[in-house]
Amino acid sequence: MTVATRPGGRRAHARTDATGAASTALRRMLESPRRPARVLAAFPSGIYLEVRTELEPHVVALVTESATRLPNSMVVTGTMPQVAVGDEAHVGDGSIEVGRLSLRARRWWNPAPVLGPVDPVRLAAALPAMTELCDRSARRPGLEGNGAADLLSEGCAQASLVRGVMAAEQLVGLGPGLTPSGDDMLAGLLVALRHLGAAAGVPRAVWLAGWLAAAVTFDARGRTTPISATLLHCAARGEASGEVLAVLRGLAGRQALDPALHRLLRLGHTSGADLAWGLRIGLAAVVSLGGGAG
């Protein structure tokens, strides 16, 4: 702990210096000049800061080790500072200052690791397994039965930009909460198309991911919540939480799928199920576009 003092030796305030493990998605923001920010939301396991900048991600998450490691987060060891929504903060010049805490990145982690080559036959076999696990789960997507979700699935399987973009436009910001269900589904889809498409050698899936990403991130700040807009920008670059990345590894045969999918489905009220639904649509599209639907 460092103690700041005024001239004359009078105590001004104490600031706690700490370090954390930061997503590489935050590197540009942290290395940029110091900017003002404000506390957007505060929970025991995480604090969300909205930075006054045009850079993405413009929302930075500070999370505990037990919380979901979001792609725009720094994982902090120890107790979160006591702050309230609207409190001032600062981000940049190598640190994050919020409350009496001054954080610096001690190490970095990659929210978009390369999956590596995957046999399309393996992905085709993983699709019914994932479908069965999702259908059996008591955790249901927030937009189950929504027509736009069905249109999105059909459009992606056919690499139809018209259908895909039309459905995506309807889903952005749809649903309640800090991360609406429509956004979570789209985030899962974008990550699946990009990573699985690249791993299985299906360029049309990666091409589709690029176009859909452009559609859902255009003016995202004006169409959904600040936190969700940031996560859509992250997903557009293939960046995802640890739980989502674990499911991708499970689909690729790098680890067991069942426990990874169960961990994802337990996230939030419907967020995990919404993300899983998006991953499932993306997986089905990669299999279809790669010629493995039959």
pLDDT value at residue 15:
74
φ and ψ of 105, to 5 deg: -75, 120
pLDDT value at residue 78:
78
pLDDT value at residue 13:
58
φ and ψ of 209, to 5 deg: -60, -40
The sign of the CA dihedral 261, 175, 191, 109 is negative
Q: For the chain, which ranges sit under pLDDT 50? A: 1-12, 294
Query: 5 has which bridge partners?
Result: 11
Domain boundaries, the chain: 2-109, 120-289
pLDDT value at residue 285:
97
DSSP string, 47-77: EEEEESSSSS--EEEEEETTS---TTEEEE-
Query: 102 has which bridge partners?
Result: 17, 97
Whether 149 and 155 have beta carbons less than 8 Å apart is answered as no
**Cα–Cα distance for residue pair 177/173, rounded to 1 Å:** 10
pLDDT value at residue 172:
96
pLDDT value at residue 292:
62
pLDDT value at residue 7:
43
The angle at the Cα of 112, spanning 110 to 116, to the nearest 5 degrees, equals: 110
pLDDT value at residue 3:
32
Write out pLDDT tens, residues 75-84: 998 788 899 9
pLDDT value at residue 177:
81
Q: What is the CA radius of gyration of the chain?
A: 20
Write out pLDDT tens, residues 167-203: 999 999 999 888 999 999 999 999 999 999 999 999 9
pLDDT value at residue 223:
93
pLDDT value at residue 53:
86
- CB 182: neighbour CB atoms within 10 A? 27
**Cα–Cα distance for residue pair 169/212, rounded to 1 Å:** 9
pLDDT value at residue 57:
82
